[in-house]
Amino acid sequence: MTGHLNASDREALRLAHELREELRQTLRPGATSDTPAVSPYVDAAGRPSALVRMDADSARVLMMMLSEYRAVLAGRHQAVGAPAHEFEPRHDPMPAPYPVGAPGQPLAPMYP
């Protein structure tokens, strides 16, 4: 089925599948319905990407989890005594799981 797809297309499909599974397991453990919809696409620069669509309840749960995650990170950074500005999000708060410009490469862990 994916034989006619180029490397970026295949990577976008894999990215969307993995993201869909992570969201399903995180937002609705054990649920088989109401899973957020994740659509693969390749952007104008040729980078594999994904679009996410979810209902309001799922969006609120995700926002709460991200807020808690930021609070944990802020606590860790304050504990080491580093200046707060060193840990403020950059323009891209979620790093790409692979080096930009390397489509088709295996996904690296997003966070060490």
Separation CA 12–CA 9 (nearest Å): 5
52-107 pLDDT, tens per residue? 999 888 888 889 999 998 888 888 766 656 555 554 554 444 544 444 444 454 44
Give mean pLDDT, residues 27-47.
82
Separation CA 16–CA 37 (nearest Å): 9
- Which phi and psi (to 5°) does residue 38 adopt? -125, 120
Please state the domain extents for the chain: 1-54, 55-90
